[in-house]
Amino acid sequence: MDVWKGDRLNRIECALENIHEEGERALITARKNIYYLSGFMPTATSFLILEDEPVLLVSEMDRESAMAKSRVDVRTFKRIRDVRESFDLSGVLVEPATPVGLLERLGIGGDFRVMDPVSDIRMVKDREELKRMEEALRIAENSFKKLEFKGTEIEIAARLDYTMRLAGSEGVSFDTIVASSERSSIPHAVPTANTTGSPVLIDWGAVREGYHSDTTRTIVEGEGEHEVLEIVLEAKRAGVKALKPGARACDVDSAVRGVIGEYGYADNFIHSTGHGVGLDVHEKPSLAAGDETVLRKGMVLTVEPGIYIPGEFGVRVEDMVVVGDGVMNRLPDALS
């Protein structure tokens, strides 16, 4: 299936092709999937009935915005019962994360099948999506360049978030991570009131028109920290080199782990090598041992090797990479 297409109507065609292999219609309730297919991001409970003539059902609160932005037919409903009474949803295909309680309120009961017709399509980004992600990344990187890395972890994280907002970010991709000294060995550390010391690990991202960025840099000073950083950078280069069309996601993970293992730090790399990025900051595929997804041109993934020495320090470097087109980031790898 060719999913490298420029507009959302073609995205719908791809989703319909997936659906027609399993049934006649699907009920899309995930906000970001509705946005991906229709062009409108709901603020309240909404339903995209995906069939040959798709219909987007929104509340009165969303009607005006949906009418202006949606590329499919828009109708409004006041109560869930209105949807149940207006559409035949027997045997409908539903997304895996659809709440059971919502299905019951729609009167579907047990008469449905679970299918995910959208996530595989979302893995490959079209030109419009890449542009938005590039904008998010530029906001994130330019904001980072303006920072002074002084004060507490909380203060640095707050300044970075605020600077990204001023630069046009719709929010943050996730809670910004700032971890210093021995706390840098905690991959998902929550910023504290501790005054920063070396190294300082920062993991952050901006959002532009719904699309995310995700970057990590580690500022090091000590000789031992520099040595570990060089190993991490070598591993990252191996991962970027392996990230090409036709390779498997797990092969990229193996390439990165191979480098880190050669230096005796295999047990200190405790998370996956990377993940897809898009409307969610973590999307399919995962650069991990068990993921055999074949990579395709236009996928956007992170490559983020890390070495974490408990009680001492940790180092991680993360870039975003477009399969078939290379690294998106412009920030230097090593900062001091």
Residue 114 has pLDDT above 70, yes or no: yes
pLDDT of residue 111: 83
Domain 127-327 has CATH 3.90.230.10: yes
Q: Is 332 exposed, middle or buried (0-12, 13-18, 19+ CB in 10 A)?
A: exposed
Domain 8-120 and domain 127-327 have a common topology = no
Whole-angstrom CA distances from 76 to 26, 33, 37, 137, 220 are 18, 19, 18, 36, 55
- Mean per-residue pLDDT of the chain: 95
Mean pLDDT of 170-178: 98
At residue 8, the pLDDT reads 52
CA distance 156 to 34: 35
Closest C-alpha to 305, from 245, 231, 247, 244:
231
Query: What pLDDT is stored for residue 335 in this prediction?
Result: 74
Distance CA 333, CA 308 (A): 18
- Per the listing, tokens 């996530």 go with 119
Q: Is 62 exposed, middle or buried (0-12, 13-18, 19+ CB in 10 A)?
A: buried
User: Which is higher by pLDDT, 88 or 320?
Assistant: 320
What's the whole-number mean pLDDT along residues 227-240? Answer: 98
What does the pLDDT read at residue 110? 82
CA distances from 326 to 30, 203, 299 (A): 31, 21, 11
Domain boundaries, the chain: 8-120, 127-327
What per-residue confidence (pLDDT) applies to 336?
Answer: 59
Q: How confident is the model at residue 165 (pLDDT cuts 50, 70, 90)?
A: very high
Superfamily of domain 8-120: Creatinase/prolidase N-terminal domain (3.40.350.10)
Instruction: Quote the CA–CA distance of 42 and 30 in Å, as a whole number.
Output: 9
pLDDT at 1 over 60: no
What's the mean pLDDT in 116-142? 96
Is the model's pLDDT at 12 over the cut of 80?
A: yes
Distance CA 227, CA 221 (A): 10
